[in-house]
Structure 1
Amino acid sequence: MGLGKWDHIQAVGKIPSVKARWVERFGREMTTEDIDSIYQTFMPLQKAKVADHAAPIPHALDVVNG
């Protein structure tokens, strides 16, 4: 799956075009506090939408539960 969401947000913030737009908008580079804020805002939205776009894998719970 790649990076975790927090790390992904941080990586996106380091993309030169994104970084430039962030600095233009906020007058400074993205901080860990900014990443925390974005993450805290994003995660509930993602969790709310997962059910709309996911289907359980048949018998997956049986495998996980042994």
Structure 2
Amino acid sequence: MILYTTMPQELIFPPEDGVYDNVKIIDYNGVSLIVQRTEMNTYQIVRNLSTDPSHYLNQEFSPGQTINFI
């Protein structure tokens, strides 16, 4: 079976030890993002899943940025 996806293999086939418990896929301002929860109840962007090139040029959606998402 071949999977054609932009998602990393670790999210499709997660490990058993719960390493990715604090990682979520969210839709933030119309952009799909993989985010990781921080200690201060905010989210840090890990990966941009959008297929629109303009979303990669926008600094708001770049990896490492911190966002508030409820």
Shorter-chain TM-score range = under 0.3
Q: Which has the higher contact order (CA 8 A, sep 6+)?
A: 1
Using the size of structure 2 for normalisation, the TM-score is: 0.26
Q: Please say which structure displays the higher CA radius of gyration.
A: 1
